[in-house]
Chains A and B, each alone.
Chain A
């Protein structure tokens, strides 16, 4: 998609692959691709809007729109805008791309659910660099006050932002303590271990309070030459890089079998297996 568009943000999309896959295909989000406006659906707000390629891929795989449409990303007249826009691609829940805003929007959604005595849940995926924005902490503090049990923040902690390592620019640590101090139940996981991602999402839904999952990830995960290489924050792969990346993601080299490509049968099977068991156990989850 990004190669076709010749622009975009591969690094921050790849770091969130397991998280987004677990949400859409791991039986976490209650949603209906045939009815994107279903009022009782769970909401997923991509606050780190530059990572939208991974969400578009998931939405297409889930059936919100044709997979062929992914090649229109960032092109004129496309529904797939360079950053998410509410009212364009079905399944997009908020306009983001100016960082720091998604958690406030998610909190508003969570409180609207409470007012309507509805039980839909709101998941907000934030970037780590994004947590430097003051508005994130306004929303975190306000959520700590109102204590909606249907609001879940996930931080894609890939340790990098556009200009370099977060630790070198404005360090985030102690990150978990910050969320906890604002009244959030917090758990840290390996954001590329599907088992841990699924477990944490299940935990977050029954936390009884606002829950934050800090997912330690690797920017550019799954593509050897992009992993931890911040040059790919906002640069699309060239022809050669695309071929190498797809080769690795498809498991051409047995040493490189990451199975991180969206739609990878391996990931999906794993997700389905583990979630079937868990959703049966707690009586919720799964597409409508």
Chain B
């Protein structure tokens, strides 16, 4: 029994090790042989993004407080995506995916998040998952032609490798 769990640990660790690179001082650009590097690293604040919007809330958005505003308003998504970048740079792909999923639970209709998760799965060579996620990203692209194009390209690459 112990053996069985031990085996699981070993398998899980090995799985993680294969893609682990030593942490670097600066987040290295995500390297990928066949896919364009993800275009979304840290998303700009929502107001400057085309679509889809953050889910509306039924309460009115508060007026800016009189206190000096923070230099850059971080959203849950942008915060998590910054962590995704760090995790990717450290080669922690599964952790990066988990962070992406956290962001998706908050903004499930954000095509960029689905696309980002698709690129991570692609790097993990989980091509089937990557294809499904890329299609999902496309379905939320709306008029964002760039996202639609990127997702389409990723989809084709995932399907050809599958």
**Do A and B interact?**
no
